[in-house]
């Protein structure tokens, strides 16, 4: 049992002991790889809703990541950029992590927030229609970030909105801004993936543990991975499902130049993998008994020295904390970058970049 | 079933398709009818609590509506008017719509908010007394907007407050700021109701579907209707109750020059009604089976061409969505104006108008 | 039954009737007793986490109380002091009172807040680990105020934080900022306790109704009481427990020069007590039947004329409302000062005092 707080009070403050842990690549890397920001590319996001990762092309990803890096490096002040804007954070399915990340991004930019943290406190509980909810947000806010248990809800809501909507996770469909955070971490780790051309033998082998067909973070991550096919050699999807892809993206994936296969033997494949994407896995029926250990990672796992692991926390048993202190841990950096990349997205959607970014940082 | 979001991504953004729907009168109309703002009238609201619609007289309604119109038309900046003020939004009965509307109004004025979205997260759940809760708000905030399941709660709370309280709905009693939003919509639609004298044959016939005696929005709406008796010919109350008025306002209503009657035959009366006020009706016992259809409206209902419908959403089966695209739909405009009229009320209660409104807009 | 709000509308506003009730000492008293602020003492709090009341020594208490008094007296503007800072209010155990107090303090200083009002809306409900939650707060906020049902949780969380944590109540362990509010009220009432030396016959006799060993507010209050031993003659702890102190602070208390004893006879001791600290008591088993009345106070209780009562509300049956209007009531002042003392703490932890406090108020 932990000793009572009152007995540690005269030690040095425990909080100060904590430092950055795991793999913390320098955001400067992406700026060295591609110095000037191309605002005309980001202009395409002005006033756009973000329903799906398919909205982003490679070029747009590059500029968003560079803008996030500039803000993370505090190259220019952004604290008043959205002073007159209100975001509604409408989380009809509770999620502290994603809701607070959107709110924090908005507040860092000087914006304001109104929030629904729990559907039980809303008319939705009384059966209020998305049509009427849409009218409400049109009148109360300038943008709305939504999480909903139903896949179709955010698109239906969009049909009644005059303001942009950002999908914060819709059922088993997508979680595009999580995928932005995933790739912001990966592109800080290896800027060449987006900004260069890797020699054949260095192209990435990516392992995805999960089922794109019914796990939104996995699906959105995979969709963005396809944008970087030039520098990705192979993707293996580890799932207990017979058909992990699902209808929505099967064709998209099959038509990609990246070779993709499916496996249930994660441990035997570790020696080939450069990047491993995990997620908290909800196993069906006896799934965990059969696959739980097989799909778990810990400090004993036979990882290559330079392999990095991504996980959009909160974690379950699939990812052992004994990996936190290692260089394999890119998942804390992934969490850390989530606010910066969401700030970049908000500035682009609100079209507030032209007056904000100093000329020296423009292409 | 709706197609998955990922397959619509390359269409034009669905959000941008949405435009204003229904009947959207221009706020300029009320300013043309009565140009100059009379601050001395609004001064009477300075530091006042708003427990009931009976607080507002006709003159005060006129000035509040004009002030809301000036802000909706963005005639002068208000973004810093309440920079140093904090509103506590204390919703002991959950209500996203009303809570977010108050918060949005406060934030638009530069104010700040602290919120209770759910009584279950409060000491109220532990049986905390309103007396102690009142002391808390005195110390933490400059104004408090309250919703409570008990009619007597907000008045009891008021007895312990040194700051103004705004009633956001107290049990089956009143919802005065909803009534302000209702009438802001109606007075934009027909400014003459407040600012002119209608020829006898044009005076309004209003139908109210609901029971003022136990429905707070209906009660507060009716109380404000009485202020405009010169231009209202007749009010019919459609209810399944034997005595829909209830004790609180029976005398008030009977003493009004407006002729009032009661009916259960809505459909046969439609041809006479200029304004129909509806609400989500909670029928008792078999009520819905007997009256549900009788008290419902849809695009097939025999409405006059220029009849408008008000409904303080969220709606139930009583109001069909096939009316949304018609000119009968004033209920979306009613929702849209809710934030502006609450901003007007807040500025008046905080007494921040004299430094804010440019002389050119004053009487 | 209370009459309906609609019938009181034309009376003078009930809210305006309310004035300060109970014992309201002037904050000026502490400034007269010790005029100049010693910033070097408050500097010790810069970037510190506040896990326990043991963090505060007498000297630090004096300066915090003086700083709170200066702000309560509005001697200099603080509305922009923390403009660029975000506080996460993470209340994994719901508490409106404490959460809103922290949020209000942060907003008064120009800071921003993101909040978790209910653990059920968080990953904690999904079994998210404190380690992962800590990483989240490092990325989203600049400081975090936490309440948790588990005593060990806040210290464990601290181990993963790079930002300061303020303990807003951890299980049955401590509630240090409540103790600051308790003593801010007492030191405004009798500044000599901290800033002078009382003649032997005037030294305080304090009665504490409750069990320091398992009531966090009582424990933290008692720990701060020991700092003022020079002016405290005696402390009696009234509890139904055989050993009310508990392991954590037994030695700390026994080693204090203050004489301490234990009793179950509150009523017979009232004539000796200058200060009575109460709390909402959760009696075990038949506890209330045996001790409820014995440990309750009302206007009939045999209190000395100048005895003051402290209670960190919300109250239960142990404290009768008929004491509210008397000079014994220091508990409303205690609630009133909570925001000011938390503002003082926040400014010190953020190290924002040197540019903020005008030279004329410095020692």
> Which of C48, C52, C86 lies at the smallest CB-CB distance from A5?
C52
Instruction: Give A50's contacts in chain B (Cβ within 8 Å).
Output: none
DSSP bridge partners of A113 = A87
User: How close does chain A come to B20, measured CA to CA in Å?
Assistant: 8
pLDDT given for residue B293 in this prediction? 76
Q: DSSP state, C2?
A: P
Return the minimum-mean-pLDDT range out of A15-24, B77-86, C278-287: C278-287
Cβ neighbours of A237 (radius 10 Å): 23
Q: Are A51 and A158 in contact (CB under 8 A)?
A: yes
SS3 assignment, position C138: helix
Choose, out of C124, C136, C216, the residue to mutate when testing the contact with A (most A CBs < 10 Å): C136
In this structure, what token pair is assigned to residue C166?
């303020």
pLDDT given for residue A288 in this prediction? 52
In this structure, what token pair is assigned to residue C113?
């807040």
Q: How confident is the model at residue A29 (pLDDT cuts 50, 70, 90)?
A: very high
Q: Are A108 and C86 in contact (CB under 8 A)?
A: yes
Selection from A325, A205, A223 nearest residue A266 by Cα? A205
pLDDT given for residue A291 in this prediction? 61
> Which domains, from first to last, does chain A contain?
26-175+337-361 (3.40.50.1370), 177-335 (3.40.50.1370)
In this structure, what token pair is assigned to residue C78?
């603080």
Say whether pTM exceeds 0.90: yes
Q: How confident is the model at residue C5 (pLDDT cuts 50, 70, 90)?
A: very low
Cα nearest neighbour of A219 on chain B:
B6
DSSP bridge partners of C88 = C114, C144
Rounded to whole angstroms, the Cα distance separating A134 from A129 reads: 9
Q: Are C81 and C356 in contact (CB under 8 A)?
A: yes
pLDDT given for residue C11 in this prediction? 40
SS3 assignment, position A21: coil
Alpha helices in A209-330 (DSSP H): 216-225, 247-254, 266-269, 287-291
Alpha helices in chain C (DSSP H): 14-17, 28-33, 39-43, 58-72, 96-108, 130-140, 153-158, 176-189, 192-195, 216-225, 247-254, 266-269, 287-291, 331-349
Q: Are C159 and A11 in contact (CB under 8 A)?
A: no
Q: Is A284 exposed, middle or buried (0-12, 13-18, 19+ CB in 10 A)?
A: exposed
**What mean pLDDT is reported for chain C?**
90
Instruction: Give C101's contacts in chain B (Cβ within 8 Å).
Output: 136, 139-140
pLDDT given for residue A316 in this prediction? 85
Torsion-angle region of B351 (φ positive above 0: left; ψ -120 to 50: alpha; else: beta):
left
Return the minimum-mean-pLDDT range out of A244-253, B79-88, B288-297, C297-306: B288-297
pLDDT given for residue B6 in this prediction? 38
Confidence check: pLDDT of A2 > 70 = no
Please, what is the end-to-end C-alpha distance for chain A in angstroms?
56
The dihedrals phi and psi of A259, each to the nearest 5 degrees, come to -80, 135
Rounded to whole angstroms, the Cα distance separating C292 from A350 reads: 60
Estimate to the nearest angstrom the gap between the alpha carbon of C213 and the chain centroid: 17
User: How close does chain B come to C183, measured CA to CA in Å?
Assistant: 17
Q: Are B332 and B299 in contact (CB under 8 A)?
A: no
Instruction: Give A124's contacts in chain B (Cβ within 8 Å).
Output: 96
Q: Are A137 and A163 in contact (CB under 8 A)?
A: yes
Nearest 5°: CA angle at B314, between B310 and B316?
A: 90
pLDDT given for residue A277 in this prediction? 98
**What is the dihedral angle through the alpha carbons of C212, C217, C218, C220, rounded to the nearest 10 degrees?**
80
Helix axes A216-225, A247-254, angle to 10 degrees: 20
Determine the longest span between alpha carbons in chain B, in angstroms: 62
Average pLDDT in the A220-244 region?
Answer: 95
- Parallel, antiparallel, or unpaired: how do β-strands C143-148 and C112-116 relate? unpaired
pLDDT given for residue B10 in this prediction? 33
- Parallel, antiparallel, or unpaired: how do β-strands C86-91 and C112-116 relate? parallel
Cβ neighbours of A342 (radius 10 Å): 28
Record: contact C6-B127, CB cut-off 8 A: no
In this structure, what token pair is assigned to residue C336?
């009133």
Q: Are C190 and C169 in contact (CB under 8 A)?
A: no
Average pLDDT in the A184-200 region?
Answer: 96
Record: contact A117-C117, CB cut-off 8 A: yes
Give the residue ranges of chain B where pLDDT is below 50. Answer: 1-16
Record: contact C138-A316, CB cut-off 8 A: no
Cα nearest neighbour of A140 on chain B:
B104
> Which of A5, A17, A79 lies at the smallest CB-CB distance from C170?
A5
Q: Are C341 and C193 in contact (CB under 8 A)?
A: no
Residues of A with CB under 8 A from a CB of C: 1-2, 4-10, 13-20, 79, 91, 94-97, 100-101, 103-104, 107-108, 113, 117-118, 280, 313-316, 321, 324, 332, 335-339
Average pLDDT in the A68-89 region?
Answer: 97
Average pLDDT in the C29-34 region?
Answer: 98
* Sheet containing C259-263, strands listed edge to edge, beginning at the edge strand earlier in sequence: C259-263, C232-238, C204-209, C275-277, C308-310
> Sign of dihedral through CA atoms C94, C96, C102, C107?
positive
Instruction: Give C100's contacts in chain B (Cβ within 8 Å).
Output: 88, 114, 116, 136, 140
Q: Are B346 and B106 in contact (CB under 8 A)?
A: yes
Estimate to the nearest angstrom the gap between the alpha carbon of B315 and the chain centroid: 15
Residues of C with CB under 8 A from a CB of B: 1-2, 4-10, 13-20, 79, 91, 94-97, 100-101, 103-104, 107-108, 113, 117-118, 280, 313-316, 321, 324, 332, 335-339
Cβ neighbours of B77 (radius 10 Å): 12
Instruction: Give C114's contacts in chain A (Cβ within 8 Å).
Output: 100, 103-104, 107, 113
Q: Are B235 and B203 in contact (CB under 8 A)?
A: no
Cβ neighbours of B293 (radius 10 Å): 12
pLDDT given for residue A302 in this prediction? 96
Rounded to whole angstroms, the Cα distance separating C150 from C162 reads: 21
Cβ neighbours of A293 (radius 10 Å): 12
Highest mean pLDDT among A317-321, C13-17, C278-282 belongs to A317-321
pLDDT, tens digit, 9 for 90 and up, residues B271-316:
999 999 999 876 555 555 556 678 899 999 999 999 999 999 988 8
Residues contacting residue B43 through CB under 8 Å, at least 6 positions apart:
B348, B351, B353
DSSP bridge partners of A141 = none
- Parallel, antiparallel, or unpaired: how do β-strands C204-209 and C165-170 relate? unpaired
Q: How confident is the model at residue A113 (pLDDT cuts 50, 70, 90)?
A: very high
Q: How confident is the model at residue A136 (pLDDT cuts 50, 70, 90)?
A: very high
Q: Are A209 and A279 in contact (CB under 8 A)?
A: yes
For tokens 């942009």, what's the residue? A164
Determine the longest span between alpha carbons in chain A, in angstroms: 62
pLDDT given for residue B289 in this prediction? 54
Rounded to whole angstroms, the Cα distance separating C3 from C304 reads: 38
User: How close does chain A come to C163, measured CA to CA in Å?
Assistant: 7
Alpha helices in chain A (DSSP H): 14-17, 28-33, 39-43, 58-72, 96-108, 130-140, 153-158, 176-189, 192-195, 216-225, 247-254, 266-269, 287-291, 331-349
pLDDT, tens digit, 9 for 90 and up, residues C155-202:
999 999 999 999 999 999 999 999 999 999 999 999 999 999 999 999
Return the minimum-mean-pLDDT range out of A54-68, A157-171, C119-133: C119-133
User: How close does chain A come to B332, measured CA to CA in Å?
Assistant: 7
In this structure, what token pair is assigned to residue B192?
């003459």
SS3 assignment, position B244: coil
Confidence check: pLDDT of A150 > 70 = yes
> Sign of dihedral through CA atoms A96, A98, A100, A101?
positive
In this structure, what token pair is assigned to residue C325?
């209007």
Q: Are A297 and A324 in contact (CB under 8 A)?
A: no
Confidence check: pLDDT of C329 > 80 = yes
Estimate to the nearest angstrom the gap between the alpha carbon of A254 and the chain centroid: 23
Q: Are B347 and B70 in contact (CB under 8 A)?
A: no
Q: How confident is the model at residue A7 (pLDDT cuts 50, 70, 90)?
A: very low
Instruction: Give C329's contacts in chain B (Cβ within 8 Å).
Output: none
pLDDT given for residue C1 in this prediction? 33
pLDDT, tens digit, 9 for 90 and up, residues A317-341:
899 999 999 999 999 999 999 999 9
Selection from B137, B360, B128 nearest residue C311 by Cα? B128
pLDDT given for residue C123 in this prediction? 56
Q: Are A76 and A310 in contact (CB under 8 A)?
A: no
Q: How confident is the model at residue C23 (pLDDT cuts 50, 70, 90)?
A: very high
Cα nearest neighbour of A102 on chain C:
C140
DSSP bridge partners of B144 = B88, B165
> Could you tell me how many CB contacts below 8 A there are between chain A and chain B?
140
Instruction: Give B135's contacts in chain C (Cβ within 8 Å).
Output: 313, 332, 335-336
Rounded to whole angstroms, the Cα distance separating C98 from C339 reads: 9
Q: Are C165 and A15 in contact (CB under 8 A)?
A: yes
* Sheet containing B165-170, strands listed edge to edge, beginning at the edge strand earlier in sequence: B112-116, B86-91, B143-148, B165-170
């Amino acid at each position: 049992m932990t000793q009572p707080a009152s007995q540690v009070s005269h030690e040095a403050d425990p909080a100060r002991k904590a430092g950055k842990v795991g793999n913390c690549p320098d955001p400067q890397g992406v700026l060295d790889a591609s110095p000037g920001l191309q605002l005309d590319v980001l202009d395409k996001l002005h006033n756009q809703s973000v329903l799906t990762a398919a909205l982003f092309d490679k070029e747009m990803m590059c500029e968003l990541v560079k803008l996030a890096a500039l803000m993370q490096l505090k190259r220019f002040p952004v604290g008043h950029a959205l002073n007159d804007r209100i975001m509604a954070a409408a989380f009809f399915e509770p999620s502290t992590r994603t809701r607070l990340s959107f709110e924090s991004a908005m507040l860092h930019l000087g914006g304001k927030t109104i929030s629904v943290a729990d559907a039980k406190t809303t008319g939705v509980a009384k059966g209020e229609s998305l049509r009427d909810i849409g009218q409400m947000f049109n009148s109360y806010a300038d943008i709305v970030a939504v999480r909903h248990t139903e896949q179709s809800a955010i698109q239906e809501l969009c049909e009644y909105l005059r303001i942009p909507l950002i999908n914060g996770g819709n059922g088993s469909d997508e979680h595009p801004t999580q995928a932005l955070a995933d790739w912001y971490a990966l592109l800080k780790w290896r800027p060449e993936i987006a900004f260069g051309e890797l020699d054949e033998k260095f192209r990435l082998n990516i392992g995805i543990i999960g089922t794109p067909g019914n796990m939104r973070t996995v699906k959105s991550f995979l969709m963005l991975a396809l944008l970087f096919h030039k520098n990705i050699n192979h993707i293996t999807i580890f799932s207990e499902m017979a058909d992990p892809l699902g209808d929505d993206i099967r064709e998209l994936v099959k038509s990609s130049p990246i070779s993709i296969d499916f496996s249930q033997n994660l441990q035997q494949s570790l020696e080939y993998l450069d990047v491993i994407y995990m997620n908290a896995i909800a196993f069906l029926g006896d799934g965990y008994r059969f696959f739980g250990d097989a799909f778990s990672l810990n400090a004993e796992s036979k990882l290559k020295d330079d392999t990095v692991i991504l996980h959009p926390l909160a974690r379950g048993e699939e990812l052992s904390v004994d990996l936190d202190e290692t260089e394999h841990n890119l998942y804390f950096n992934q969490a850390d970058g989530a606010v910066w990349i969401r700030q970049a997205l908000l500035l682009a959607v609100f079209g507030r970049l032209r007056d904000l970014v100093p000329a020296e940082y423009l292409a």
